[in-house]
Amino acid sequence: MSSISESIIWGATKLQPVSASATLDTEVLLCWILHKERSYLRTWPEKILSTSQISAFKNLLNQRADGIPIAYLTGQREFWSREFKVTPEVLIPRPDTELLIETSLNLLSKIPAPKILDLGTGSGVIAITLALELPYLQILAVDKSTAALNIAQENANIHICNNIEFQISSWFQSIATQKFDLIVSNPPYIAATDPHLQTGDLRFEPQTALIAGTTGLDDIKEIVSNSAQYLTCNGWLLIEHGCTQKSAVQTLFQQYGYQNIQTYQDLSLLPRVTVGQLI
């Protein structure tokens, strides 16, 4: 293995048993080492790699073969067309979560000077994306993990985003009494016994960001049951949830007095985000 094309064949073969996207993973890691776009690999397939490039590539490939997610190897992931820093202390941003952004933006377009709360901000992608799309927003983003808040703050700095305040808080616990026009969250929602937790990238992500009790609903319940006192009249609550949780989440919203409850589907046409308004 010494050229780009040989390296891709070697890498893809090695990743075949562990990844459904072996060639793509290999190319992304090679691009990361070479500091190039994927088109470069196509243009220069015969280019010979240096010894240090080969050894760095092999090192990353071996880690990927052990299952470590690509995003943790490159330390970044794209979300809403922007690059965000990620580490094993935070959940890897998913395309599914872009639905939370889209739904929030739709609701926010009708509210003048909105105040927003992002619960469990993690890498900060939700708060930062909203803040960049609508720079007049005032956002409070909380997380119970200091390590996560540090990453979120770094991401806010990278994107020169000054309209977010980050604060340590486990859900509402340390948030001073105040009202928000919109509360948004991508909380943990996987049941502790869900076999998916033993597969793929999930094995390497922070378990506290994924698991929510025996049904996966513990944190959603905590959020829905406490949001009312933090919402303005006509304020909105938006929660991402599992694709099998639509009716349980809608029932919780109803139980706590929400109206105009709607569930939206993600790109795979699975119910993924439920919203409700407190009137």
Applying CB under 6 A, the residues found at the interface with ligand GLN are: 91, 94, 96, 186-190, 202, 210
- Integer Cα distance of 196 and 192 in angstroms: 10
- Integer Cα distance of 135 and 142 in angstroms: 19
- Residue 8 or 148: the one with the smaller Cβ distance to ligand GLN is 148
Q: Quick check: helix, strand or coil at residue 246?
A: helix
Q: How far is the CB of 8 from ligand GLN (least distance, A)?
A: 28
On whether the CB atoms of residues 54 and 1 are closer than 8 A, the answer is yes
Burial, 72: exposed, middle or buried (Cβ in 10 Å; 0-12, 13-18, 19+)? buried
Q: How far is the CB of 91 from ligand GLN (least distance, A)?
A: 6
Q: How far is the CB of 172 from ligand GLN (least distance, A)?
A: 18
- Integer Cα distance of 90 and 82 in angstroms: 17
Q: How far is the CB of 47 from ligand GLN (least distance, A)?
A: 37
- Residue 186 or 263: the one with the smaller Cβ distance to ligand GLN is 186
- Residue 6 or 96: the one with the smaller Cβ distance to ligand GLN is 96
Q: How far is the CB of 97 from ligand GLN (least distance, A)?
A: 7
Q: How far is the CB of 259 from ligand GLN (least distance, A)?
A: 25
Q: How far is the CB of 218 from ligand GLN (least distance, A)?
A: 12
Please compute Rg for the chain using Cα positions. 21
- Residue 96 or 218: the one with the smaller Cβ distance to ligand GLN is 96
- Integer Cα distance of 254 and 165 in angstroms: 31
Q: Which residues pair with 240 in a beta bridge?
A: 273
- Residue 18 or 279: the one with the smaller Cβ distance to ligand GLN is 18
- Residue 183 or 210: the one with the smaller Cβ distance to ligand GLN is 210
Long-range contacts of 33-41 (CB under 8 A, 24+ apart): 33/57, 33/60, 41/4, 41/8
- Residue 36 or 94: the one with the smaller Cβ distance to ligand GLN is 94
Q: How far is the CB of 112 from ligand GLN (least distance, A)?
A: 31
- Residue 58 or 94: the one with the smaller Cβ distance to ligand GLN is 94
